[in-house]
Structure 1
């Protein structure tokens, strides 16, 4: 392993408590970075609450209608003024979430630039724990120049998260690519 390669175990160590245990989120959502709210499906399906929070954009990292997805879409938010984008990600180790990293980062970046930089984006999956946390981490790496450890620590500081090992592996691969490209 070179100086910049990071292992899934090292990332898991960042995410666990002193006993090595993962904790589920204690709140429905948290603002994990200025303008980025990370949370669960309860808030995502409560348009009034989203409007109270000043959310201008929704990124659903669990689009679909199976038991592991959140069945919202453009039609659900029609007439609310909230811009919707969804990706049909499964929360499984073998799902290729990385194919959506750039697309999601572009959406988050656009959301934050909305209304002269006053946009707010609600990024969610079912629990706001694995898929959506990985997507926000990738955004911080791709658009904010943070390495994977710093990006994950930034999110974890504000919310209990636990992307699955497959997603952590994909974030490690992104980290290696960005390091090789001299991005940080």
Structure 2
């Protein structure tokens, strides 16, 4: 009896394909080489160092801060709304952990909404600083999800867009969750087109 194997849909993107986008010509990941990289108009991704520096954030023109690693453990950044009280920044924290098994997808919509509001702030003059501890996995994952949810990019394009501007390396669990988001959005788009 012949097994009926379905060919993968053309919109399927694998974690390996995304990792191929993220590595250099030798197949190696590279750590970020600069601070506060503008990865899309009005969106900067960085590590925690600038998050602690209110003066620098103001010089950069930041209006909103999205901490993708809010919390008190060694892998989190202990800034919060109280830390930024009186600075004029609009703050939002997400308590994500950088583990393959952590479900960051539950925060995709929340982060996309905050980033979208930031970019619309003051008649489109808002600027959002998205950070985690290293600016390498959690924060770029949330920005990629925003690009998919609000800018109608597919996962491949969104990852490539951020990677062109900053060295990033979301863990494989996060990449898988982005692939699942891509599958869902593509299926929704297909049903709207009919």
Q: Deviations over 1:28-63 (max 9, x none)?
A: 210000000000100011000000001000000000
Q: Which of 82, 99, 102 is the equivalent residue of 1:95?
A: 102
Q: Which residue of 2 aligns with 1:28?
A: 35
The equivalent residue for 1:114 is 121
Distance (Å, rounded) in 1 between the aligned partners of 2:169 and 2:159: 10
CA RMSD between the two structures: 1.0
Say which SS state the counterpart of residue 39 (structure 2) adopts: strand
**Structure 1 stretches lacking a partner, 5+ long:** none
Q: Structure 2: how far apart are the matches of 1:28 and 1:92?
A: 23
SS in 2 for 1:20: coil
Distance 1:150 1:100 in 2: 20
Alignment of 1:67 with 2:74, yes or no, is: yes
- Which sections of structure 2, spanning at least 5 residues, go unmatched? 1-7
From 157, 161, 184, the equivalent of 1:150 is 157
Partner residue of 1:83?
A: 90
User: Following superposition, which runs of at least 4 residues in structure 1 exceed 4 angstroms of deviation?
Assistant: none
Match of 1:16 among 2, 23, 27: 23
- Partners in 1 of 2:134 and 2:37 — Cα distance? 12
Residue by residue over 1:115-160, the C-alpha shift from the partner in whole angstroms, topping out at 9 and shown as x without a partner, is 1000000000011100000000000000000000000000000000
Distance in 2 between residues matched to 1:146 and 1:113, nearest whole Å: 19
- Superposition TM-score, scaled by structure 2 size: 0.94
Q: Which has the larger radius of gyration?
A: 2
Quote the residue 2:130 is aligned against: 123
Separation in 2 of the partners of 1:42 and 1:59?
14
Q: Hey, what does 1:41 align to over in structure 2?
A: 48
- Asked if 1:170 corresponds to 2:147, the answer is no
Distance 1:124 1:45 in 2: 11
Q: How many residues are paired up?
A: 184
